[in-house]
Every structure is written in structure tokens, then in C-alpha cells.
Amino acid sequence: MDRRNFLKTGGALALAGGVLPGCRGAERAPRLNFREDRKMTLRWFPYELELAHTFTVSSYSRKTTPDVQVEIEYDGLVGYGEASMPPYLGHTVESVCSFLEKVDLSQFTDPTRIEDIMEYVGSLSEGDAPAKAAVDIALHDLVGKLLGLPLYRLFGYNPEKAGDTTYTIGIDTPEVVREKTLEAAGRFNILKVKVGLDADKEMIEAIRSVSDLPLAVDANQGWKDRSKALDEIFWLRDNGVVMVEQPMAKDRLDDIAWITERSPLPIFADESVQGLGDVLPLKGIFTGINIKLMKSGGLLNARKMIAVAEACGMKVMTGCMTETSCACSAVAALAPASSFQDIDGNLLITNDRFTGGVRVVSGRLTLPDLPGLGLSLK
Ligand code: MG
């Protein structure tokens, strides 16, 4: 029986905990056959993301995001991955492509050995988190397709717990902010506001003049004085804000710990937390961490970050960059493990390559019951 027929008949059942016809009990795990002569092929191409609105945070504005789309083909199946490179992180299309040139997946005959494969990919350089994330996401998508399971099932998560996603309202004039809020208010149950410039209160008041939805705020390191920041957090709490992201510069950890200790709202790290090694040192400094695949280097490390955060008694938030539905669907598979979700990157672009994957229905993240990321090419 070849792999596909095996999966169609008893294989998927057996993997999900059932028993193969003809087997007594579960004495031996059923095997997928990974033949030596089947190789993984990695390919990639640049894909510039076009943003629906000019994106402004406390430090810059932009209208496009550089991106590289990645595919891993194996035995007639294709796993999709993606590297998105917001300019402030210092990665470029060139740096991602030159990293991917170094990756030789032909030495692996079993794509399900994600730990081994990503250990090798990780060893190829010190940084390059977006390029590593692209390989990791494509590999997970491929393995989900090989096993016939959505990623959240592979991870053991309940998709009903994926929760609401925030939708970001960028910094703008009060008129535009009101317009964007009205546009979003019917479709989302929580909005996210970029603060950290002088006009924070005007932004919130503009939103409050047209909507009473709960708000998350992201200061993107913009607040300079901890006492003023704390005063503002109390004011924000009184105006329906439920969480605060990255109040001050990423290395001002003493000031941030001071704020967190006194804050009526949970304080989440974003710029202060990049990869797995950053989580433990933030215990006691932030209430929680914002995990994004372009920072963590992919799903495997993101899941390890969740485990460390939970062990430290910290909360987890899942987030994204501007990305297509590919990377957004990948991080959405982790949403059931997070207490805030900020997975709207695919909704902010006008040239998504994919249909399917994660969708927002009545403000809630809805994960498809389809293998891997559940994506189709447009
Ligand atoms: Mg942020």
C-alpha cells in the first residue's frame, strides 16, 4: 500500500490514536515510508507586499514590505513558507536569499524530523530569523500535508480556543482614525492602537468618539519617561484599554519592570523579545511576551518559547508582521495557546498569494480543518 492509500484507509486513524485493521492493539506504530530516493526541493522568490494603508508607528512610515516566498516540494506535495522583512529589523531580500542558497535539504529523506532539520538550518548562521522561519513554516506545512492533519492538530491544540484577533489602527489624523475605526468596528471585537507619539490621547479619544470596543495599545518603545508612562497606562485603563505592548525602549528593562509592577494592565514584550533565549531573562520584567515567527525563526522555536513563558508564569501573545496568509496561518496555529492574538498582517495587504488558511469570522480567528496551513494558491 503506498503512503496516500495508507492515509486514506487506516493510516490517519491509526496516527490519531486508533488501531490499524489487522493489528492487535497498538503494538507497533504504523509507518510512513520515506524512501531514500525522495528528496526535498527548496525554492524561493522575492514577493513585495503592498499595504492597503501607509503604515505608521512611532519611528517610521511605509507603503510596502519586502518579502520572500518559499516552497518545499516533496513527493508531489508542496509546503509553503514565507520570510517577511519589515525594514527596521535589518533583514533584506538579499540577506534572506543568500541564506537560503546555503540550505541543502537534499541530505534529509524524512521531512517529519523537523527538530533535526531545523537544528541544521539554525546552525548555518547566527541570525537570519525570517529566512529560518520561512523554511520552518514550509516544512511544517509539508509535514501537515504528508500526515493529512492541520498544524493545530499536530500540536494538540483546540481550534475553538484561537480567540479574537486585534486589528491595528495606525497613527493618523483624528478624521482618518475615526474612519478606520468605523471600518473595523463591525468586523472585529478588539482593536489595537499604535501609541508612543505625542498624540496618544487624541488617537484614543478619536476612537472612543465612534466605538466602545476594547483596545490594546502598542507603544513600540515610544514612551521616554516611566512615571508619565504609568500615568498614561492608568488613563488608558479608564478608557477601555486592556493591555499594553512594549511601553519603553527594549533595553530599559529596569524602568519597564517598575511599570509592570505598578500597572493595572498586563505589559507585553515585543521588541525586547526576539528568540528563545530572550524569554527567561524577561521573567518578572514583563507580564507576557509577543511571539512572532519572523523573530523566533519559526514554529518549532515559537513552541519552545511558549513552554518557557508558561514555566515562568508569563502570558503569551501571538503576533505577526505584515505577511501573507501563509505566515499568518502558521502563527494562528499557536493562537489557542495565547491570551492575546494580533494576527491581522494578511488583512493589511492587497496582494495576498493565498486563499484559505486562517480567516477572521465575526472577529474570531477561524482555523481551517485542512492539512498543514490549509492554503490554496490564488
Ligand atoms: Mg509590537
CA of 231 to the centre of ligand 1 (A): 20
CA of 90 to the centre of ligand 1 (A): 16
pLDDT in tens, 202-227: 999 999 999 999 999 999 999 999 99
Burial level of 39, CB count in 10 A (0-12/13-18/19+)? middle
CA of 269 to the centre of ligand 1 (A): 8
- At residue 28, the pLDDT reads 65
Q: How confident is the model at residue 33 (pLDDT cuts 50, 70, 90)?
A: confident
CA of 18 to the centre of ligand 1 (A): 43
Q: How confident is the model at residue 61 (pLDDT cuts 50, 70, 90)?
A: confident
pLDDT over 90 (residue 309): yes
3-state SS, one letter per residue, for the chain: CCHHHHHHHHHHHHHCCCCCCCCCCCCCCCCCCCCCCCCCEEEEEECCEEEEEEEECCCCEEEEECEEEEEEEECCEEEEEEEECCHHHCCCHHHHHHHHHHCCHHHCCCCCCHHHHHHHHHHCCCCCHHHHHHHHHHHHHHHHHHHCCEHHHHHCCCHHHCCEEEEEECCCCHHHHHHHHHHHHCCCCEEEEECCCCCHHHHHHHHHCCCCCCEEEECCCCCCCHHHHHHHHHHHHHCCEEEEECCCCCCCHHHHHHHHHHCCCCEEECCCCCCHHHCHHHECCECEEEECHHHHCCHHHHHHHHHHHHHCCCEEEEECCCCCHHHHHHHHCCHHHCCEEECCHHHHECCCCEEECCEEECCEEECCCCCECCEEEC
- At residue 165, the pLDDT reads 98
Nearest to 339 by CA among 287, 277, 271: 287
pTM for the model stands at 0.91
Residues carrying an active site annotation = 194, 218, 245, 270, 292
For the CA atoms of 308, 296, 49, 97, what is the dihedral angle to 10 degrees? -160
User: Are residues 250 and 221 in contact, defined by beta-carbon separation less than 8 angstroms?
Assistant: yes
- At residue 37, the pLDDT reads 81
- At residue 24, the pLDDT reads 52
- At residue 58, the pLDDT reads 60
pLDDT over 90 (residue 19): no
pLDDT over 80 (residue 8): no
- At residue 57, the pLDDT reads 61
CA of 102 to the centre of ligand 1 (A): 31
Query: How does the average pLDDT of the chain come out, rounded?
Result: 91
- At residue 31, the pLDDT reads 63
Which of 54-63, 232-241, 296-305 has the least mean pLDDT? 54-63
pLDDT over 90 (residue 169): no
CA of 245 to the centre of ligand 1 (A): 6
CA of 271 to the centre of ligand 1 (A): 7
